Amino acid sequence: MTAPGENPFAALGVTATQQTLYLTLLYNPGSTLGELAGMSEAPRPRLAALLLEMEDLGMISAEGAAGVAGAGGAAAPADRAYTAHPPDAVVETLIRKRETEFIRARIEAKRINGDLLAAEQRSNPEKLVEVIDGLDAVIQRYEQVQRAAVRHVKAIDKPPYAVDPVSPNAIERERLANGVEYRAIYTPEALAIPARMELAREDSGFGERARILENPPAKLVIVDDEMALMPLRGDDPGITALIRPSTLLDILIEVFDTCWEQATPLRFDDESGPVGVWPRLSEADRHLLTLLAAGLKDEAVARHTGMGARTVSRHVARLLRTLNARTRFQAGVHAARRGLV
């Protein structure tokens, strides 16, 4: 319970005086300014100003015509009857208002920080690229840049990894829930890791947009087109560069966008394709084609499907003939482009 004199709405920007007047209206709905003046020690002009403020905050509503301007210049709603909105609705309204203010503050802080960073980079160009040495430091910075995302995160996902490749990215799912777009380009090698395909399926369910591409040029994470993380050696994620706004960052953004255009959308067997494109297409065929598009070898496909390796080989040979494809990966790509998976 709230102690006497405590203001439970203080964290939402409501003053103690506004809270007192709100509670008065809550227990005396339909009160006019004159009636409220009789229940309060506050001067009448002050009450009129408080009522207008609380209307703007969405805490109360009023019926009746507004009065004339008072001595302080604010409209004195003499004949209006005021009613307090239910507390739960008021709290939700105030929370949304605060969230909007927080987002605006974050955007403004990023703008100011960008201006300061640009000025600093002009005087200290070496700060355009920061080298992060050590897996723990790389993981920490990877989490930080994701949490800083406001609009989107773009990633090229390929081994080796600084983090466990089959552990869910909790920050990604949190940011997706807050409206941040995630676009991920997976390599066949990434999805060949046991349980990695299932994790990609789960992330897709949370809203991640996923595609697959053979041999992208680099492992990469780009946040809001304002910063990027990229390993400096492809086989060692423990030495990674943080690239800030620069020509180099512009090039990396173009690299990702080009790879995204070339990549094939990654679909999963629980997504239905166009009806009637291939009457013989079974759920098992769809699943197999998705795995082929991911570039998985027969042994990996067998683990994912539960079939024997020789059975997988027979099914693959049949699909290659049907799709007029020379390689397994080409069969998967053809199938995806034709809407078969």
Interval 187-204: pLDDT, tens: 988 888 878 888 998 999
Report the predicted TM-score, pTM, of the whole model to 2 decimal places.
0.50
Cβ 219 vs Cβ 157: under 8 Å: yes
Q: pLDDT confidence of 69, banded at 50, 70, 90?
A: very low
Contact between 67 and 44 (Cβ < 8 Å): no
Checking if the pLDDT of 319 tops 50, the result is yes
Report the largest interatomic distance among the alpha carbons of the chain, rounded to a whole angstrom: 91
Note the pLDDT of residue 77: 53
DSSP bridge partners of 153: 182, 223
pLDDT digits (tens, 9 = 90+) for 73-92: 444 456 789 999 998 888 88
Q: Percent of the chain, pLDDT > 70?
A: 80
Quickly state the pLDDT bin for 341 (edges 50, 70, 90): low
Q: Where are the beta strands (DSSP E) in 188-314?
A: 209-212, 220-223, 227-233, 236-243, 264-265
Sheet holding 220-223, edge to edge: 129-133, 236-243, 227-233, 220-223, 152-157, 181-186, 209-212, 264-265
pLDDT-derived band of residue 63, with 50, 70 and 90 as boundaries? confident
* Cα 188 to Cα 185: distance, rounded to the nearest angstrom: 10
Torsion of CA 325, 328, 334, 339, to 10 degrees: 130
Q: What mean pLDDT do residues 221-234 have?
A: 93
Residue 268 tokens, joined: 């999963």
Would you state the torsion angle of the CA atoms of residues 4, 10, 16, 22, taken in this order, to the nearest 10 degrees?
-90
pLDDT over 50 at 274, yes or no: no
Which residue type is seen at 276?
G
Which pLDDT does position 155 carry in this prediction? 96
Residue whose pair of structure tokens reads 């090698």 in the numeric block: 189
State the chain's mean pLDDT as an integer.
Answer: 81
Q: At what angle do helices 283-293 and 298-305 cross, to 10 degrees?
A: 140
Q: How far is CA 142 from CA 71, 149, 223, in A?
A: 57, 11, 10
> What pLDDT does 336 receive?
63
* Cβ-contact 178, 159 below 8 angstroms: no
The bridge status of strand 181-186 relative to strand 209-212 is parallel
pLDDT band for position 289 (cuts 50, 70, 90) = confident
- Contact (Cβ atoms closer than 8 angstroms) between residue 9 and residue 85: no
